[in-house]
Structure 1
């Protein structure tokens, strides 16, 4: 049984290392208590140190909800807001990371500090070099196999580079009619597994359809293009940054198909269940967080789909060939059919939901 809101346990090493300069006395907390934390992650040290003046920004729904459950203030930062201290846990993808550093420097107050931490094995050296390119010489320490580095108070910012890097986060065309943005899953290409599922979608899918783990919306655009009897389409995606390109892609797909389809995007953790019932569900479910394989995440998607399908509903699923989903599918569906196995992937249709 997969618990609601299932997600991988978050390693705390980077979060713990981030606060080392305060423990050592090299940095002091702002007198006004205001701190902006970009890509914040819940953890013991954060809960211990955070104060009411902190604002945590986190676009991945399960992590945002974990922060909220710990009583932390989670939200978006206003364009004109400035903070004396900006904390950053940078992502691995470099364009996304550069855009995040630019955002941090956009929101730091005059005389303020931007502080970041990156595990050594995840590109700490290049990340430090990028922040240095924006804000000049940095201070740094190593701890817990991580590199912690920060700007000098009031460091002059290379505004031209900052503005150039801010633009890196904007949706960009990656294929004719498709836009995406750096850091999303398969952000700069059409994922091979999703393309395989799209090729095998039956044209008799109808009514209200959901796409679970929709990313930037490629699979949903294919539902629109290939399934003329679909009248409504809901995209569910846990990564908030995917929703803008998904909306853009779906708007074009609907315009191109020449018929009316009710389309909605939802920032949602699928493992917590779905709020509506569906005639069909399509999914290329995630099976990892970071570098850790988590087949239970895919199993949770299957469970959520089974709970949300109407009695006549059908699930169309693509997965890596090695993933052990068959037992879960057999528990939840009366009919499980392997449509094809090729190129390391398997396409499965499941129907006859077991209640």
Structure 2
């Protein structure tokens, strides 16, 4: 979620540089359902976001939204980009935007200075050549016009890198932009080592990412009947298929678990909950995950959780479970076991 000053700066650039075309399609990549979008002509606007909460919010607001798997975009006179956090994903998104824009089309983005505004403009300049920019509110809006001599070869290289690939010496299939994309996350690895081999029944993995935790459970816990993976970032699902290749007792769902989690369905759950939304830290998101997983567990169910040591999860664990205990405190992470979710009467 971007701060409102990012959109204020973008709006100012629209006014001063006359970026909004009178006719033609408008495309917004990694769009968020924010008031800024309401200022654009809705009948000409198409949005894209593969993150389920944002995708659903855009649809609920009545915007035309591309399917989450879309990596080719309709040609647009104006393409607006809300750059993601990770550099390689950002490069590929800018490359796809430039590739699919018509000659003469404008590509524009905005970022806070503290979150890589100059780097973002440099990425666009490497593709487009000349860029223009406007700075305000400690943010920068920057844009370029696609010309015949744009750097299509570099775009192809950046797009080719933005695919599922083996990382960490082959230990994991992952993709730029996913959490801990280029290595096995140390917290998840610690949790995988802490889950006992004797667990049994139907399990769930909330915020499953590339599927590492589910793979380790299925590989090392012979009494587990099945694993159900829930992940909000659609791009992770292709990596799950590769990481869980060879296992048949698992299913995956593109889901916002804070809204769409099932009720009283699982015997146990494993979880390394997220603690940021887009570019912004959000401690409450992990707490919402705990509430969601408590509702999804059966009465006698157990949660195995890893979190950064400083994250305040204990109070919500007490709110949602009859008991919980810290099993390990190592390397800046804590492993917590919580049992028997409370039911509201």
How many Å apart are 1:292 and its aligned residue?
4.8
Q: Is 1:311–2:302 an aligned residue pair?
A: no
Q: Does 1:271 align with 2:258?
A: yes
Q: Please point out which of 9, 18, 23 is paired with 1:17.
A: 9
Partner of 2:85: 92
Q: How does 1:157-306 map to 2 (within 5 A)?
A: 157-175=150-168, 176-252=170-246, 254=247, 260-261=248-249, 263-275=250-262, 277-289=265-277, 292-306=280-294
How many residue pairs were aligned? Answer: 339
Helix, strand or coil for the counterpart of 1:15? helix
Q: In the alignment, which residue of structure 2 is the partner of 1:29?
A: 21
What is the RMSD of the two structures over their aligned residues, measured on CA atoms?
A: 2.0
Quote the Cα distance in structure 2 between the aligned partners of 1:283 and 1:44.
Answer: 34
Indicate how the Cα distance of structure 1 residues 202 and 50 shifts in structure 2: closer, same or farther if over 3 A, else same: farther
Q: Distance in 2 between matches of 1:212 and 1:165?
A: 31
Query: Aligned in 2, Cα 1:165/1:65: closer, same or farther, shift over 3 Å?
Result: same
Instruction: Report SS of the residue matched to 2:141.
Output: strand
Distance 1:346 1:302 in 2: 15
Which residue is equivalent to 1:257? none
Q: Which moved more, 1:181-190 or 1:21-30?
A: 21-30
Spell out, residue by residue over 1:96-115, the C-alpha distance to the aligned partner (whole angstroms, 9 max, x if none): 11101111012202321111
Partner of 1:6: none
Secondary structure in 2 aligned to 1:129? helix
Give the conservation status (yes or no) of the 8 Å contact 2:98–2:146.
no
After alignment, is 135-144 or 162-171 more displaced? 135-144
- Cα 1:40–1:290 change in 2 (3 A) is closer
User: Counterparts of 1:323 and 1:151 in 2: how far apart (Å)?
Assistant: 41
Matches within 5 A, 1:42-53: 42-53=33-44
* Contact persistence 1:221–1:250 (CA under 8 A): yes
Instruction: Report SS of the residue matched to 2:32.
Output: coil
| CA deviation profile, 1:31-90 (whole Å, cap 9, x unmatched) | 13x111111122112112241221111122222222223222222357373222111111
Structure 1: tracts of 5 or more residues without a match: 1-8, 255-259
CA distance in 1, matches of 2:119, 2:232: 28
Inter-CA distance 135–332: structure 2 relative to 1 (3 Å threshold): same
Residues 22-31 or 195-204, more deviating: 22-31
Deviations 1:189-222 (A, max 9, x none): 1111111100011112222211011111111111
TM-score by length of 2: 0.92
On the 8 A contact 2:309/2:329 being kept in 1, the answer is yes
For normalisation by structure 1, the TM-score amounts to 0.89
Cα pair 2:326 2:334 within 8 Å, conserved: yes
In structure 1, what is the equivalent of residue 106 of structure 2? 113
Alpha-carbon distance in 1 for matches of 2:153, 2:63: 34
Instruction: Give the aligned partner of residue 350 of structure 1.
Output: 338
**Structure 2 gap ranges (5+):** none
Choose 151-160 or 184-193, whichever is displaced more: 151-160
Bigger mean CA offset, 205-214 vs 61-70:
61-70
In 1: Cα distance, 2:186 partner to 2:71 partner: 38
